[in-house]
Chains A and B, each alone.
Chain A
Amino acid sequence: DTGVSQNPRHKITKRGQNVTFRCDPISEHNRLYWYRQTLGQGPEFLTYFQNEAQLEKSRLLSDRFSAERPKGSFSTLEIQRTEQGDSAMYLCASSLGSPPHEQYFGPGTRLTVT
């Protein structure tokens, strides 16, 4: 197992376009999390899944954001009608649903909206 992977690693898009990111968690992990990290800040929670069920969404997640985890495996995060304020690093993490509760992070997708 090579850990959590995310694609693409970098994405540059024009304002108003839609973008989709993918996260592949560690295979036996049933929990998957999405965070957003802007420059000089710590990661902020966006949403998370247990298997295919989306358990919680942050108030940061506007209606332009949607996340899915079909079949409880990989997850996608889509941003519609991107805005410059969406520019950030989008981090995915996964974990077992039991102690010691360590979340394993992927390398992130850096989004730049021009």
Chain B
Amino acid sequence: AQTVTQSQPEMSVQEAETVTLSCTYDTSENNYYLFWYKQPPSRQMILVIRQEAYKQQNATENRFSVNFQKAAKSFSLKISDSQLGDTAMYFCAFMPHNSGNTPLVFGKGTRLSVIA
């Protein structure tokens, strides 16, 4: 069974600074997707960034980028120029690719606070 581990329950960062959230996963699959989702307080979950395991290049979306290390089964999220609106729970999630569009396996999340 696939598992996703987020070892940092809470983190804080000063506005405009850079922060990195960690995620490791365990799977025997070779092809899969990895995602970072953001859940702001009392608001719905939205996708931040996705990575396909067969792609060597790390995904980037504006201020958000990932460091995908397939051999180490590591998938960290870097947020640059942190903004107050980045305050949220961040969940790392895994989806097997060969099985098609299947349910996500989530980590327990990291609560990020951006401090003015």
Contacts and interface: CB of A to CB of B under 8 A. Distances in A.
Interface stretch (A71-79, A80-88, A99-107): A99-107
Given A31-B101, A96-B101, A108-B44, A101 B95 contact: yes
B64 interface: no
Contacts, number: 55
B11 interface: no
Contacts of A91: 45
Contacts of A44: 106
A6 B101 CA distance: 21
A44 B46 CA distance: 16
Interface in B63-93: 91, 93
Given A98-B101, A101-B95, A42 B108 contact: yes
Interface residues of A, number: 27
Nearest to A6: B44
A41 interface: yes
Nearest to A46: B103
A65 interface: no
A43 B44 contact: no
A56 interface: yes
A54 to B, nearest CB: 12
Q: How large is the interface on B (under 10, 10 to 19, 20 to 34, 35 or more residues)?
A: 20 to 34
A40 B108 contact: yes
Nearest to A100: B50
Contacts of A21: none
A16 interface: no
Contact of B101 (A35, A43, A101, A107): A101
B104 interface: yes
Given A100-B50, A101-B95, A102-B50, A45 B108 contact: no
Most interface-central of B46, B93, B103 (chain A CB within 10 A)? B103
A41 B108 contact: yes
A33 interface: yes
A101 B108 CA distance: 21
B105 interface: yes
